[in-house]
Amino acid sequence: MQGQPWIKGKGWLWAAIITLCVVVDAWMAPVHNLHAATADATWAKIKRTGVMRVGLSPDYAPYEFHSTIGGKDHIIGFDVTMDKLLAQRLGVKLKLVEMSNDALLSALESGKVDLVVSGITPTAEREKKVDFTDVYFNDPNVVLVQKQDRNKYRSLNDFHGAKIGAQITTIQEGQAKKVSAWCHGHVTEKGDG
């Protein structure tokens, strides 16, 4: 990698940490200075321990998911590839910390993980507690129905009385609740989907 100016100096290191880390906000002004201080403390801890602990919920392909490779279970996906590259460039070991999606942000806030790389969508409410990187991948939300029902659901009105499911603590859960309230349907509170 000789000749790559962003690798020669340590400036790329701070840019990578600040860009990829989701850091805890202490709810005090000025927010920018607190985020920078938290990022510095997080980086100091990573350097001291030599380990970058990344929280993820490996149930969200293609971001991160389980796959059997050579008879062994592995967590793979493009977020995991990015985590590995970041750890390599920082010169630290990567520790993937698997947990449910609804535990990710609280694990970050409590210090159980150093950062979360797990396809989390920024919202105003979430940004009060944590910092987000620039969005690096946009994927659309879609509604899945059984193949035999593809002609049954053509508009929101068609969902009146239908059971609507979404993974808890996700953007999709909020959308499902809005659609359900609008249609007077039923929202499933638990389970994947």
> 167-189: per-residue pLDDT in tens?
777 777 777 777 777 665 444 44
- pLDDT above 80 (res 59): yes
| DSSP for residue 122 | P
pLDDT at residue 36 in the model = 60
Exposed/middle/buried for 34, CB within 10 Å: 0-12, 13-18, 19+?
middle
Q: What is the CATH number of domain 5-127?
A: 3.40.190.10
Mean pLDDT of 147-159: 84
Please give the single-letter amino acid code of residue 39. Answer: A
Altogether, the residues listed in the chain come to a count of 193
Mean pLDDT of 97-116: 92
Q: What is the DSSP letter of 147?
A: G
Q: What is the mean pLDDT of residues 75-102?
A: 94
Predicted confidence (pLDDT) at residue 142 exceeds the cutoff of 50: yes
Strands (E), 139-182: 163-165
Residue range 16-34, pLDDT digits in tens: 443 443 332 222 223 334 4
Res 127 pLDDT > 60: yes
Q: How many other β-carbons are positioned within 10 Å of the β-carbon of residue 59?
A: 15
Q: 94, exposed or middle or buried, with CB in 10 Å at 0-12, 13-18, 19+? A: middle
| Strands lying side by side in the sheet with 72-76 | 59-60, 64-69, 72-76
State phi, psi for 190 to the nearest 5 degrees: -130, 160
Average of per-residue pLDDT across 82-103: 94
pLDDT at res. 182: 67
| Distance between CA atoms of residues 101 and 56, nearest Å | 7
Q: Which residue has the higher pLDDT, 122 or 11?
A: 122
Nearest to 168 by CA among 108, 96, 79, 103: 103
- Given this model, what pLDDT does residue 38 score? 66
For residue range 61-78, what is the model confidence (pLDDT) as tens digits? Answer: 888 999 999 999 999 998
pLDDT at 183: 65
Q: Please list the alpha-helical segments (H only) found in 4-143.
A: 5-8, 11-20, 31-49, 78-90, 104-110, 124-127
Q: Where in the chain is the domain with CATH 3.40.190.10?
A: 5-127
